[in-house]
């Protein structure tokens, strides 16, 4: 191989690697991102079955019910609509009724959202930003 060919080979393999990286990234962005929904969104445009999504809203007053062992069910609401949620595990420290919450999981065929993660908040004033933005937009919540 001449020097020029060698250099081309090196540059070519480098480009090939970058192309691979770009392909992986695009594929992953298409497959592995989850959209954020509020309960009203879910009713107007239901998520595809088994699609992993994030659901945000307020934990409805009086809806938290503890079942067998570590099973918990509650309703996430946005002032207009509510979605029933089931979860098995330890709830974050700041999980309370009437507080903002973001959960991740999939919508079951029976209309019950099966959560695999309930996102913890880190301080008492923090409202999940997605939830706060939407509630403000709909005029349902004001910053103190």
Partner 1 sequence: MSVELGHFALVLALALALVQALVPLLGARLGSAPLMRMGEPVAITGFALIAFAFAALVLAYVQSDFSVLNVWENSHSAKPLLFKITGTWGNHEGSMLLWVLILAFFGALVAAFGQNLPPTLRANVLAIQGLIASAFLLFILFTSNPFIRLERAPIEGRDLNPILQDIGLAIHPPLLYLGYVGFSISFSFAVAALIDGRLDAAWARWVRPWTLVAWAFLTGGIAMGSYWAYYELGWGGFWFWDPVENASLMPWLAGTALLHSAIVMEKRSALKIWTVLLAILTFSLSLLGTFLVRSGVLTSVHSFATDPTRGVFILAILVFFIGGALALFAVRGASLAPGGLFHPISREGALVFNNLMLTTAAATVLIGTLYPLLIEAISEDKISVGAPFFNLTFVPLFLPLLLAVPFGPLLAWKRGDLPGALQRLQFAFWAAGAAAIASYFLIDRANAAAALGIGLGLWLVFGALTDLAFKSGIGKVGPALALRRLSGLPLSMFGTCFAHAGLGLTVLGIVSVTALQAEKILTMQPGQSTEISGYTLRFVDLRPFTGPNYTEDRAEFALGTTRGASLGELVSSKRLYTARGMPTTEAGIRTMGLSQLYVSIGDRTPAGLVVRIWWKPFVTLIWAGALVMMGGGFISLMDRRLRVGAPARRKAALAADGGGTR
DSSP 3-state of 105:
strand
**Sole binder of partner 1 in the list 2, 110, 124, 144 (CB under 8 A):** 124
Site string for partner 1, 86-115 (x = CB under 8 A): --xxxx-xx---------------------
CB of 50 to partner 1, least distance (A): 14
Residue ranges of the binding site for heme:
122, 126
CA distance 33 to 17: 23
Q: Which residue has the tokens 């393999």?
A: 13
User: What tokens does 62 get?
Assistant: 């009086």
CA distance 41 to 28: 24
110 versus 125: smaller Cβ distance to partner 1: 125
* Binding status of residue 16 toward partner 1 by CB under 8 A: no
CA distance 32 to 87: 22
Q: Which of residues 50-89 bind partner 1 (CB under 8 A)?
A: 54, 66, 68-70, 88-89
CA distance 103 to 38: 11
**Sole binder of partner 1 in the list 5, 8, 12, 24 (CB under 8 A):** 24
């Amino acid at each position: 191989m001449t020097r020029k060919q060698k250099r081309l080979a090196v540059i070519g393999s480098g480009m090939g690697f970058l192309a691979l990286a770009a392909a992986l990234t695009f594929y992953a962005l298409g497959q592995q991102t989850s959209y954020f929904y509020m309960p009203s969104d879910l009713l107007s445009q239901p998520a595809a079955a088994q699609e992993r999504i994030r659901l945000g809203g307020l934990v409805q007053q009086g809806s938290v019910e503890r079942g067998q062992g570590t099973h918990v069910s509650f309703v996430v609401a946005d002032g207009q609509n509510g979605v029933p949620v089931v979860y098995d595990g330890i709830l974050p420290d700041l999980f309370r009724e009437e507080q903002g919450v973001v959960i991740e999981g999939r919508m079951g065929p029976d209309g019950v959202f099966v959560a695999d993660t309930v996102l913890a908040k880190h301080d008492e004033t923090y409202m999940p930003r997605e939830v706060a933005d939407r509630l403000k937009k709909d005029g349902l919540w004001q910053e103190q």
